[in-house]
């Protein structure tokens, strides 16, 4: 392992070892480096910061941090300020909703999206439907990749607004979907919404090389702190296509109650609802500085090295009979994938062990992993080979407030509906992986054949 990364673990993430944690949920959130929160606390202690929506000296100081953060975000993603704008949001979901609610969907236009998508992207189909646009899902192969994007795109209907949405990296399988799709989709008449939330924490997104119309990110996923700030990076000409369905504080140049008229801002301000998280924005600039100091190439290389180890270890595990102990969903090599690995533990009879059992054993061992379907139903349905009709029958049977995934699984004749997800980041090390593997081996030895559901 890289000496600099080892030193970072000692210096910036010492609390992990001090408290005995194996943290393997980087796709949920990165961990903040110690120096980032210390420096931010210092800045807050020595500054007097007012609401940026005014002209007082304290307000001006907050505005300076805001302006600097905007510039820093563009610079980090190598986006030309003449071409891209940054809209600060509460998180990636907030950025996606801004696009969904304001994109000019219309009858005849199409919202095209990969089955591999977070629910915060899936939900945009409701805006599309409300405006009479069609939604079409692009299916995944057994490897959780798209076989041919070219064939799926076809030609968008001319004269309409069409949107392709996909994750640069899957939050379920870790698959990195090709960024080359962006130019291809443009050629075929689509705008592109790139969900980069799970990609940018460990990979460089260079907006001087690829030009998606809209990109969403959450900063806590990149450097752990602050929570509550994300961004929509949008090409200026694409942002101009969006028509907001309302206005609020901070988004209008003028509004009148008397005559019910208003003048919206034209730039990023038109999309930033209410008071921004002005106390935390300076930490966004500092967090990006931190990643640049470490170097995204170093972060990527570190995560790739550990992912290779994790995949090697998991796929080598065997029961006494020689049967595999683990089923990995998606690619089992590091080719075209990031550090998110979804899998299930298998009993000696090959049956999936309930992921909640794995979660409980992990918690006991102070290992933080995630279980379930990770808000990514399309990748889960493909992984678990759930048939459309059967799933619909169970949905109809169970829909309502009593719906649980456990009941859904029973209805599907005990098919798994959840997986275990281990995800790696800058603060991960080999010992974290070994602890996970030891826990799985110990748990497998305790699970008798056929005893799949224990909780
Ligand atoms: C790929 C992807 N998109 C979107 C989101 C939503 O991010 P947030 O919850 O920060 O809005 C996540 C969060 O896990 C994600 O992994």
Taking CB atoms and a 6 Å cutoff, what residues make up the pocket around ligand 1? 27, 91-93, 118, 120, 167, 171, 195, 197-198, 218, 230
Pocket test for ligand 1, best of 27, 90, 93 (most atoms within 8 A of CB): 93
Q: How far is the CA of 198 from the centre of ligand 1 (A)?
A: 7
CA–centroid distance, 143 to ligand 1, in Å, is 22
Closest CA relative to residue 212, chosen from 230, 231, 234, 187: 234
Q: For atom 2 of ligand 1, which residue has the closest CA?
A: 197
- Write out pLDDT tens, residues 79-121: 999 999 999 999 999 999 999 999 999 999 999 999 999 999 9
What pLDDT was estimated at residue 1?
A: 80
Q: What share of the chain is helix, strand, coil (3-state, %, to 5)?
A: 40, 15, 45
pLDDT score for 448: 65
For the chain, the structural domain boundaries read 3-31+295-446, 50-278
Tell me the best of 198, 217, 227, 423 to mutate to test the pocket of ligand 1, counting ligand atoms within 8 Å of each CB and taking the most: 198
The DSSP letter of residue 269 is G
- What's the rounded Cα separation, in Å, for the pair 122 and 120? 6
At residue 153, the pLDDT reads 97
- Indicate which atom in ligand 1 lies nearest the CA of residue 221: 10
Tens-place pLDDT, residues 297-336: 999 999 999 999 999 999 999 999 999 999 999 999 999 9
Q: Which entry of 216, 355, 375, 394 is annotated as an active-site residue?
A: 375
- DSSP class per residue in 415-432: ----EEEEE--TT--HHH
pLDDT at 450: 54
394 in active site = no
d(CA 78, CA 208): 6
**Ligand 1 centre and the CA of 67: distance in Å?**
25
Distance 56 CA to ligand 1 centre (A): 36
pLDDT in tens, 162-173: 999 999 999 999
Atom of ligand 1 nearest to the CA of 90: 11
Q: Is the pLDDT of residue 451 over 80?
A: no
> From atom 7 of ligand 1, which residue's Cα is the shortest distance away?
92
- List of E strands, 20-142: 22-23, 84-89, 110-114, 134-138
Instruction: Round the average pLDDT of the chain to a whole number and report it.
Output: 96
Give 227-244 pLDDT, tens digit per residue: 999 999 999 999 999 999
- The closest-lying atom of ligand 1 relative to the alpha carbon of residue 230 is 10
Mutate to test the pocket of ligand 1, among 197, 198, 225, 339 (most ligand atoms within 8 A of CB): 197
Can you give the pLDDT at residue 449? 60
User: Which residue, 337, 298, 393, 2, is CA-closest to 144?
Assistant: 337
E strand spans, 8-125: 22-23, 84-89, 110-114
Looking at CATH, the fold of the domain delimited by 50-278 is given as 3.40.640
Torsion of CA 1, 441, 22, 335, to 10 degrees: 50
**Nearest atom of ligand 1 to the alpha carbon of 117:** 1
Give the pLDDT band of residue 455 (cuts 50, 70, 90): very low
Residue nearest (by alpha carbon) to ligand 1 atom 14:
28
Task: Give the H or E element holding residue 288.
Answer: helix 281-294
User: What average pLDDT does range 338-350 have in this prediction?
Assistant: 96
The answer to whether the pTM exceeds 0.75 is yes
Distance 118 CA to ligand 1 centre (A): 7
Mutation pick for ligand 1 pocket among 91, 99, 120 (CB with most ligand atoms within 8 Å): 120
Q: What is the pLDDT of residue 343?
A: 98
CATH architecture of the domain with residue range 3-31+295-446: Alpha-Beta Complex (3.90)
How much is the pLDDT for 192? 98
| Cβ-contact 362, 368 below 8 angstroms | yes
Give the atom of ligand 1 at the shortest distance from the alpha carbon of 28. Answer: 14
In the reported structure, the alpha carbon of residue 59 is separated from the centroid of ligand 1 by a whole-number distance in angstroms of: 31
Query: Per-residue pLDDT averaged across 406-414, rounded?
Result: 91
pLDDT per residue as tens digits for the range 30-85: 999 999 999 999 999 999 999 998 899 999 999 999 999 999 999 999 999 999 99
- CA distances to 29, 191, 261, 375 from 222, rounded to whole Å, are 8, 26, 40, 19
pLDDT for 403 beyond 70: yes
Ligand 1: centre distance to CA 197 (Å): 6
Report the pLDDT value the prediction gives residue 453, as an integer from 0 to 100: 45
Question: What was the pLDDT predicted at 53?
Answer: 81
């Amino acid at each position: 392992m890289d000496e600099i990364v080892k030193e970072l673990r000692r210096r910036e993430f010492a609390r992990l070892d001090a408290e005995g944690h194996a943290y393997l949920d980087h796709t949920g959130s990165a961990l903040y480096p110690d120096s980032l929160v210390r420096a931010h606390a210092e800045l807050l202690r020595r500054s007097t910061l007012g609401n940026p929506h005014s002209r007082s000296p304290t307000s001006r100081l907050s505005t300076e941090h805001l302006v600097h953060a905007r510039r820093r975000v563009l610079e980090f993603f190598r986006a030309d300020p003449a071409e891209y704008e940054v809209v600060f949001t509460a998180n990636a979901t907030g950025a996606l909703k801004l696009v969904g609610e304001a994109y000019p969907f219309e009858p005849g236009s199409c919202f095209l999206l990969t089955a591999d998508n977070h629910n915060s992207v899936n939900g945009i189909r409701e805006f599309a439907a409300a405006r009479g646009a069609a939604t079409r899902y692009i299916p995944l192969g057994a490897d959780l990749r798209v076989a041919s994007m070219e064939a799926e795109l076809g030609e968008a209907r001319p004269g309409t607004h069409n949107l392709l949405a996909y994750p640069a990296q899957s939050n379920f399988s870790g698959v990195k979907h090709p960024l080359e799709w962006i130019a291809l989709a443009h050629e075929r008449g689509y705008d592109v919404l790139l969900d980069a939330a799970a990609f940018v924490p460990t990979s460089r997104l260079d907006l001087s090389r690829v030009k998606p119309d809209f990109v969403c990110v959450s900063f806590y996923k990149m450097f752990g702190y602050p929570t509550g700030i994300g961004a929509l990076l949008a090409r200026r000409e694409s942002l101009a296509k969006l028509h907001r369905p309302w206005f609020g504080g901070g988004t209008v140049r003028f509004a009148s109650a008397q005559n019910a008229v208003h003048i919206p801002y034209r730039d990023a301000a038109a999309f930033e609802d209410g008071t921004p998280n002005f106390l935390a924005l300076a930490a966004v600039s500092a967090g990006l500085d931190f990643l640049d100091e470490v170097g995204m190439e170093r972060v990527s290389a570190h995560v790739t090295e550990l992912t290779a180890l994790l995949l090697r270890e998991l796929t080598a595990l065997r029961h006494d009979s020689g049967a595999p102990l683990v089923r990995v969903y998606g690619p089992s090599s590091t080719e075209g994938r990031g550090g998110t690995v979804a899998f299930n533990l298998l009993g000696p009879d090959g049956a999936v062990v309930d992921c909640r059992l794995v979660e409980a054993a992990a918690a006991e061992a102070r290992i933080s992993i995630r279980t379930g379907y990770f808000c990514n139903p399309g990748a889960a349905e493909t992984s678990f080979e759930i048939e459309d009709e059967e799933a619909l029958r169970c949905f109809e049977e169970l829909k309502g407030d009593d719906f649980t995934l456990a009941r859904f699984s029973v209805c599907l004749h005990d098919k798994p509906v959840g997986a275990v997800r281990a995800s790696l980041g800058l603060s991960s090390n080999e010992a974290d992986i070994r602890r996970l593997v030891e826990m799985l081996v110990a748990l497998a030895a305790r699970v008798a054949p056929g005893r799949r559901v224990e909780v």
